[in-house]
DNA sequence: TCAGTAAGACTCAAAGCATC
DNA sequence: GATGCTTTGAGTCTTACTGA
C-alpha cells in the first residue's frame, strides 16, 4: 500500500457518496468510500488496507471492474449499501463479466473481490457464498482447477555439485559479491526450505561462530514469526554458513538490520527486491544446467523431494518445512518423482524385484568397499591414517583381503 | 440409520512469474 | 515498476465412505 494512496484522505461525510469512476484506482476509491459511508473512519480503512500484504492489489483490480459495471448500469456506489438480495446482484454482475469476455481468472478475481467487499459491508456469509453464484461459476471453476498431472522435479544434487565446482573460483576470489550472494541465497533456501519472499524480508537475529540465525515473518496463515538457522555442515564446499559469510562479511557496514535490507550489499546499490534475488538465483540454476522452465520455488520442491527419497519421515519434513499438514501438502506438491519408481515396481515381478534388491545391496557394498580401499591405501602410504568422519563406524581387518567383501567390513 | 472419519471442494491470501 | 495471471498453501465446510 503506497503512502501516496494512504494519504489521499478520501474524506466524505458518512452516508454520502458522490463519485464518478474513470481511472485504474477506481476499485480502491470504491472500497474506501463504501466503508466510509458505513461510518468507518479513514484511519480504520487505512489500517484494514495496509494489513493486506499483496492481495489488496488483486482485490482493487477486481473492484475497478465492478466500478465500471456500476457505471454501465447507471448506478451509484451507494446502490451496494442496500442490496436486498446480494446474491442476485453478484450473479448478474458476474454474468455480465462473462459476457464481456473477461478471462476465467478475471471472473474468479472479480467474484473474490466482490465477496470480500460485501463481507466487509456486513452482508452475511450465506448471502455472499450462495449456491446461485456457485452454480453460475461451476464451469469456470472446473477450467481453472489445476490439471492433475505428473511433473518431474530435478535432482537437488545437480545444484549442489555445481556449487561444489564453484569453490575453487571462490577461493581464488574470482566470484563477484553478487554471485556469492546468489549462491548463498540458494544454500539458505536449500537448508532452511524457506520461501524466497520470507528470506527476502528476514533480519539477522543472532550470530555466532557456528551459526547465523535470521528471523522473518510468515504471512501465509497462520501468520507468525519464524527463525531459520544458517548452520555449518560437514561438507565445507556446500556449507551455507561459509557461503553466506563469504559475501556478508564484505557488504558495507551500517546497512540497517531491518526487513528487506538483509540482502543489500551497499548503500549505493539500489534497494534489492525479491524479484532481483529471484533472477540472480535463476541465473545460477541455469548455469548448473537446470532447465529454465523450473522456477526458484522448485528449489524447495527439490529439497523436500530429496528428503522424501532418503526416507526422512513425514513428521520430520513437516517440522523442518513448517508445513501444517504434510499429508496433504508435501505429498501433493513435492513427492513428484515417486510415480516413476512406483511404475517400475508395478511393472516388475516379485522375482525381478528380489534380484534388483540384491543387486542394489551388492552395488552399495561394492561402492563402500571401493571407497574404503582407497582410504586404506592412502593410510598405508601416509604415516598417520585417518578414517573419514562419515565412515568412522566401519571397522577393518588388519590385513585387507579384497577377494571376499564380507570378510573385511564389520558393520556396527 | 447414525456416528466417526477420510477425502474433496471451496475460499481467500501470499508468493511467484511473465509481459509490457 | 505496474499489471495480469498462475501457483502454493491453509482453513473451513461438504460429501462420501465405513462399520456398528
- Domain shared by A279 and A209, yes or no: yes
Chain B bases near protein Cβ (<7 Å): 10-18
Q: Look at residue A99 and give its three-state secondary structure.
A: helix
The CA angle A128-A131-A133, to the nearest 5 degrees, is 65
Strand B close to A126 by CB, under 7 A: no
Range of the domain at A404: 350-411
Taking the alpha carbons at both ends of chain A, their separation in whole angstroms is: 61
Degrees, nearest 5: CA angle A202-A45-A8:
90
Average pLDDT over residues A228-245: 89
Whether A38 has a pLDDT exceeding 80, the answer reads yes
The pLDDT value recorded for residue A117 is 85
Percent of chain A residues past pLDDT 90, beyond the cut:
6
Based on the fold, state whether residues A375 and A316 are members of the same structural domain: no
How many domains does chain A fold into? 3
Residues in Cβ contact with A219 at an 8 Å cutoff, skipping those fewer than 6 apart: A53, A197
Asked whether residue A49 falls in the same domain as residue A29, the answer is: yes
Distance CA A241, CA A260 (A): 20
- According to the model, what pLDDT value does residue A165 have? 93
Question: What b-and-e string marks burial along A334-361, b requiring 16 or more CB atoms within 10 Å of the CB?
Answer: bbbbeeeeeeeeeeeeeeeeeeeeeeee
- Interatomic distance A110 CA / B15 C1' (Å): 20
Same domain for A297 and A195: yes
A218 C-beta less than 7 Å away from strand C: no
The protein footprint on chain C, as nucleotides within 7 A of a CB, is 1-11
A309 plus A368 within the same structural domain: no
Higher local confidence (pLDDT), A81 or A141: A81
Q: Which of residues 208-247 of A touch strand B (CB under 7 A)?
A: 218-221, 223
- With a cut of 90, say whether residue A33 has pLDDT above it: no
> Are A256 and A160 contained in the same domain?
yes
Domain assignment of residue A195, yes or no: yes
- Highest average pLDDT, of A100-104, A253-257, A386-390, A400-404, comes from A253-257
* pLDDT for A171 beyond 60: yes
Greater model confidence, A319 or A96: A96
pLDDT at residue A243 is higher than 70: yes
Whether omega before A222 lies within 30 degrees of 0, making that bond cis, reads: yes
| Residue A222: pLDDT over 50 | yes
Examine residue A406 and state whether it is found in any structural domain, yes or no: yes
Are residues A61 and A14 part of one domain?
yes
Q: Are A139 and A160 contained in the same domain?
A: no
The answer to whether residues A161 and A284 belong to one domain is yes
**pLDDT confidence of residue A170:** 93
A330 and A369 assigned to the same domain: no
Pair A189, A125 in one domain = no
Single out the residue in A100, A123, A144 at which a domain terminates. A144
The pLDDT of residue A245? 92
Q: Going edge to edge, which strands form the sheet with A203-207?
A: A203-207, A211-218, A224-231
pLDDT at A343: 53
Segment A247-277, tens digit of pLDDT: 999 888 888 887 778 888 887 776 677 777 8
Is 50 exceeded by the pLDDT of residue A391? no
A344 falls within a domain: no
Q: From the alpha carbon of A334, which nucleotide's C1' atom is closest?
A: C8
Confidence check: pLDDT of A399 > 60: no
Say if residue A178's pLDDT is above 80.
Answer: yes
Residues A85 and A210 in one domain: no
Amino acid at each position: 500500500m503506497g503512502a501516496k494512496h494512504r494519504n489521499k484522505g478520501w474524506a466524505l461525510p458518512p452516508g454520502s457518496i458522490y463519485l464518478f469512476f474513470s481511472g485504474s484506482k477506481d476499485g480502491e476509491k470504491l472500497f474506501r468510500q463504501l466503508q466510509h459511508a458505513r461510518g468507518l473512519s479513514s484511519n480504520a480503512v487505512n489500517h484494514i488496507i495496509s494489513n493486506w500484504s499483496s492481495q489488496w492489489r488483486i482485490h482493487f483490480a477486481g473492484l475497478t471492474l465492478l466500478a465500471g459495471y456500476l457505471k454501465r448500469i447507471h448506478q451509484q456506489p451507494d446502490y451496494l449499501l442496500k442490496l436486498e438480495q446480494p446474491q442476485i446482484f453478484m450473479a448478474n454482475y458476474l454474468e455480465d463479466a462473462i459476457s464481456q469476455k473477461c478471462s476465467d481468472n478475471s471472473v474468479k478475481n472479480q467474484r473474490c473481490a466482490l465477496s470480500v467487499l460485501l463481507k466487509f459491508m456486513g452482508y452475511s456469509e450465506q448471502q455472499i457464498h450462495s449456491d446461485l453464484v456457485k452454480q453460475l461459476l461451476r464451469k469456470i471453476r472446473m477450467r481453472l482447477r489445476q490439471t492433475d498431472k505428473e511433473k518431474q522435479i530435478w535432482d537437488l544434487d545437480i545444484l549442489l555439485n555445481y556449487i561444489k565446482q564453484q569453490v575453487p573460483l571462490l577461493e581464488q576470489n574470482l566470484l563477484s559479491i553478487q554471485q556469492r550472494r546468489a549462491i548463498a541465497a540458494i544454500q539458505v533456501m536449500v537448508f532452511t526450505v524457506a520461501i524466497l519472499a520470507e528470506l527476502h524480508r528476514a533480519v539477522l537475529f543472532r550470530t555466532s561462530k557456528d551459526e547465523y540465525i535470521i528471523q522473518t515473518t510468515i504471512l501465509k496463515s497462520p501468520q507468525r514469526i519464524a527463525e531459520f538457522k544458517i548452520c555449518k555442515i560437514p561438507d565445507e564446499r556446500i556449507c551455507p554458513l561459509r557461503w553466506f559469510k563469504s559475501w556478508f562479511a564484505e557488504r558495507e557496514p551500517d546497512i540497517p538490520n531491518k526487513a528487506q535490507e538483509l540482502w543489500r550489499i551497499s548503500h549505493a546499490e539500489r534497494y534489492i527486491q525479491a524479484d532481483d534475488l529471484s533472477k540472480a538465483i535463476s541465473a545460477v540454476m541455469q548455469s548448473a544446467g537446470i532447465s529454465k522452465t523450473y522456477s526458484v520455488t522448485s528449489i524447495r520442491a527439490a529439497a523436500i523431494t530429496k528428503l522424501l527419497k532418503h526416507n526422512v519421515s513425514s513428521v520430520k519434513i513437516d517440522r523442518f518445512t513448517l508445513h501444517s499438514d504434510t499429508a496433504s501438502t508435501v505429498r501433493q506438491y513435492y513427492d513428484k518423482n515417486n510415480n516413476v519408481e512406483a511404475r517400475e515396481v508395478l511393472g516388475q515381478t516379485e522375482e525381478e524385484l528380489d534380484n534388483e534388491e540384491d543387486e542394489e545391496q551388492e552395488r552399495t557394498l561394492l561402492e563402500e568397499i571401493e571407497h574404503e580401499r582407497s582410504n586404506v591405501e592412502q593410510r598405508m602410504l601416509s604415516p598417520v591414517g585417518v578414517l573419514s568422519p562419515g565412515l568412522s563406524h566401519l571397522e577393518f581387518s588388519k590385513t585387507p583381503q579384497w577377494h571376499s567383501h564380507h570378510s573385511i567390513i564389520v558393520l556396527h
